[in-house]
Structure 1
Amino acid sequence: MDSFVPSEVEGRFSNSVPAPVDFARNERAEEDALALYIHWPFCVSKCPYCDFNSHVRTSVDQALWQEALLADLAYEARMEPDRKVGSIFFGGGTPSLMPPETVARLIEAAERHWGFAPDIEITLEANPSSVEAARFADLAAAGVNRVSLGLQSLDDDALRFLGRAHGVTEGLAALETAQGEFRRVSFDLIYALPEQSEAQWQAQLARALSFGTGHLSLYQLTIEPGTRFAALAAKGALPVTDPDHAAALYELTQAMTDAAGLPAYEISNHARPGEESRHNLAYWRYQNYLGIGPGAHGRRGGCATQRHRKPENWLSALQRNGHGVVDEVPIDSDSAAVEALLMGLRLREGIESDRIEWLGNAPFDTLVDTRVVGRLIDQGLMDRQQGRLRVTAAGMLLLDAILAEIVR
């Protein structure tokens, strides 16, 4: 790696970078390649259900943003210098609005700083507009080999309700283009919309499964605080789906995706074996990852990192400090164990008891209420075999309640 701030980020973002802090390291996570997250915060418009760190701006200085992201990347390279990168994820916002040249330079810089693990996964989130789909060939040439497409629905009325700018025809054309340009493709759908029937969702999901895509992210609509949908719901202007109906739709989803060979490997994510998102698995398996760009989180060197959320504040921090970090907090053993448990139990594979003990530096039964776990196993909601604890398919419907019960 470069032992200094490279020439491409000299200038307004060339402040010197402090030496790495010597935190206790997660030895098991160190055996795995790093995951790198790059946040592009801008969108054409804000969807009414979205609580992500996304912002609408009339114009974006693309040269400035390229320089700034490269500077933030260089800082993380100084802080975590000695491991290969196994995955890169461009998230947002709408990263498909990034110039392909910026994507290419960030990928090149990451390879120069760290080196890449064999068969690296490089994902970019994209909106299915025709303008953005026209960039897919250039993004593939830049090094992106996996795209995550925000279709969100295969129903035009639903897309209008969700505030999406594309229609079904445009979305499916973008999917066809993506499947021609990228080795791996995923797309998102949102279900359990107000008044959506089982028959409607069954027909839509069957159509989605017919496209042969290797990965689907299938999310139930949730009303998140601070969104336009939350304001409408508070006034009684937005009906909320009945929980029993939502549970029936979830069970239908599991049955159909299992039958199609795309089982859920995480509560909302489905893939053919071998096509799981390696980047997101790094989060859920509690491995180290680096986050750059506005609002990005990271976990490295026994420390949780967070960037400034507002784009302008992030840029100002870079001008002052040479990085966009607003907070770096050491992770104590109790927090590490609990976080690893909460995230790992979202996965079908579950968690290894001895790893939770290792992270928490304490016996498993002091971290987890094993009496409650035993009861949940008897009820068929959890399973424990060969040192691995997992939530069963039936238990996933009650995951939030299960997690609240078992964590001491």
Structure 2
Amino acid sequence: MTVEPLALYVHWPFCVSKCPYCDFNSHVRSTIDQNEWRDALLADLAYEASLLPYRRLTSIFFGGGTPSLMDPATVSAIIGRAREHWQASEDIEITLEANPNSVEADRFADLAAAGVNRLSLGLQSFDDTALAFLGRAHSADEGHRALDIAQKHFPRVSFDLIYALPGDTETSWAKTLDCALEKGTSHLSLYQLTIEPGTRFASMVAKHEFEPLDCDEAAGLYEVTWERTSAAGIPAYEVSNHARAGQESRHNLTYWRYGDYAGVGPGAHGRRLGKRTVRHRKPENFLSGMKRNGHGMVEEEMLDPREAADEALVMGLRLSEGIDPAALSDRFGRPVVDDPAVERLFASGHLEREGGRLRATASGRLLLDRVLAEIAAD
């Protein structure tokens, strides 16, 4: 019997403060009952495992929120229970997102002992003025210190930076990239600042308290990002993610390659056996659901073939490896791309082929949303 792979996502919804650009499911609470949340997450995990037996667990990802605020004993308990529910790969990747605040960095040794073998560190900037603008609770010095500590305790460390802030230039961003690349990391997540609806930044922009960077200027920074990381041997393997060969995030590749993943915890999404699953977002509602039903599920929906095909196209074309349209069509029983549209964009230089795979070119990546809208099959 073939044992199908599975990824596990665990959402910890709590943060010390809400960043003005963040639209993730994060909440600030004065007190958190770690024992209550440990029991709830373990119970939600058991429910998902009961619906997904006989799978090979390839990755666990603790996201948030701020998972580095979790008690390391909770992290250890979830990892241990997941290994009991499923057969774990020998090289299982276990990632935890962390902030660089000193109090959280002091937990890194305990988190590594709990079983985390990959840390994703939310540095966001090396500049104190930029960090203040982004509403971050750490200083640049704390960020450097946290990265040093992380690299001592975890075999794999990734960190995030945000660019295209007001006032950013190609020169200033190139200097930041050089600093990042000098840190010796094998993975970088480099995100353009996006003004998301419902965030404090969205309100500030609406009030003209600041103006987002011009689109052409942001595109220039994006090109600098690809050029500089490629030259350093950490090329982009996804629109915003860069890694040395073999150091890609295996968990995130499961998303982008449209594999199955179980999602537990408040607001967690999952995809299993052709269904989309969604948990209650608000922590209190999640706990109430757990008490009533034994799980935190608020929505479970079977994806129709067209919707699934469109999602696989959108996710897959974000990758530098692109997609195999024929394989996806066989998988979903319907065409995934519109062939005449693909030919037009191939001729215009926005798409390219390699073997049976289709992927976006450099110019196509800059217009990826438009490319996707044009080539999606009806």
Q: TM-score range by the shorter chain?
A: over 0.9
The match for 2:231 is 259
* Alignment of 1:144 onto 2:113: no
Query: 1: distance between equivalents of 2:267 and 2:40?
Result: 14
Corresponding residue number in structure 2 for 1:387 = 356
Residue 32 of structure 1, CA deviation = 4.5
- 1:325 equivalent to 2:297? Answer yes
2:211 aligns with 239
- Counterpart amino acid of 2:117? N
Partners in 2 of 1:395 and 1:335 — Cα distance? 23
Which residue in the other structure is 1:273 paired with?
A: 245
Find the counterpart in structure 2 of residue 401 from structure 1: 370
**Which runs of structure 1 show a deviation greater than 4 angstroms over 4 or more consecutive aligned residues?**
none
Counterparts in 2 of 1:133 and 1:264: CA distance versus 1, 3 Å: same
Of residues 193, 199, 202, the one that matches 1:221 is 193
Corresponding letter in the other structure for 1:297: H
Contact 2:270 2:278 in 1 (8 A): yes
The answer for the alignment partner of 1:20 in structure 2 is none
Give aligned-pair identity as a percent. 63
| One of 33, 36, 41 as aligned partner of 1:64 | 36
- Structural mapping, 1:46-61, within 5 Å: 46-61=18-33
Q: Equivalent residue of 2:160, what SS?
A: strand
Shift of residue 199, structure 1, vs aligned partner: 1.1
Residue 182 (structure 2) pairs with residue 205 (structure 1): no
CA distance in 1, matches of 2:194, 2:331: 32
Residue 45 of structure 1 is matched in structure 2 by 17
2-structure distance, mates of 1:332, 1:138: 44
Residue matched to 1:8: none
Equivalent AA in structure 1 for residue 138 of structure 2:
H
Secondary structure of the corresponding residue to residue 179 of structure 2: helix
Distance 1:316 1:377 in 2: 52
Q: Supply the distance in 2 between the matched residues of 1:180 and 1:199 (Cα, whole angstroms).
A: 31
State how far apart, in whole Å, the 2-side matches of 1:164 and 1:335 are: 37
Shift of 1:378: 1.2
User: Take 2:265 and 2:232, find their aligned partners in 1: how far apart are those partners?
Assistant: 37
Select 1:105's aligned residue among 77, 92, 110. Answer: 77
Whether 2:140 is the aligned partner of 1:168: answer yes
> How far apart, in 2, do the equivalents of 1:245 and 1:32 lie?
44
Specify which of 145, 150, 168 is matched with residue 196 of structure 1: 168
Deviations 1:168-202 (A, max 9, x none): 11001000000000010000000000111111111
Contact 1:266 1:346 in 2 (8 A): yes
**Structure 2 residues without counterparts, runs of 5 or longer:** none
| Corresponding position of 2:220 | 248
Residue deviations 1:211-269, cap 9 Å, x none?
10000000000000000000011111121110000010000011100000000000000
Counterpart of 2:271, as a letter, is R
Q: TM-score, normalised by structure 1?
A: 0.91
Question: CA separation in 1, counterparts of 2:17 and 2:188?
Answer: 24
C-alpha displacement at 1:360, in angstroms?
A: 2.6
**d(CA) in 2 for partners of 1:374, 1:87:** 37
Once the two structures are superposed, residues 297-356 of structure 1 have per-residue CA deviations (whole angstroms, 9 ceiling, x without a partner) of 001112110000000000000000000001110111111111111100000001111222
Matched residue SS, 2:55: coil
Quote the residue 1:82 is aligned against. 54
Counterparts of 1:261 and 1:57, CA distance in 2: 42
Distance 2:5 2:159 in 1: 25
Q: Give the match for residue 13 of structure 1.
A: none
Distance in 2 (CA, whole Å) between partners of 1:183 and 1:226 is 37
Q: Does 1:344 align with 2:316?
A: yes
**Displacement after TM superposition at 1:115 (Å):** 2.0
- The aligned amino acid for 2:251 is H
Distance in 1 (CA, whole Å) between partners of 2:118 and 2:9 is 14
SS of structure 1 residue aligned to 2:197: coil
Q: Which moved more, 1:85-94 or 1:391-400?
A: 391-400
SS at match of 1:250: helix
For 2:265, which of 293, 301, 314 is the aligned residue? Answer: 293
Alignment RMSD: 1.1
- How many residue pairs were aligned? 377
Q: Once the 2 structures are TM-superposed, how far is the Cα of residue 375 of structure 1 from its aligned partner?
A: 1.3
Normalised by the length of structure 2, the TM-score is: 0.98
Residue pair 2:3, 2:56 contacting (<8 A) in 1 also: no
Look up the SS of the partner of 2:194 in the other structure: coil
Cα displacement (A) at 1:31 = 5.9
- Is the CA contact 2:54–2:87 (under 8 Å) kept in the aligned structure 1? no
Paired position in structure 2 for 1:94: 66
CA separation in 2, counterparts of 1:164 and 1:302? 38
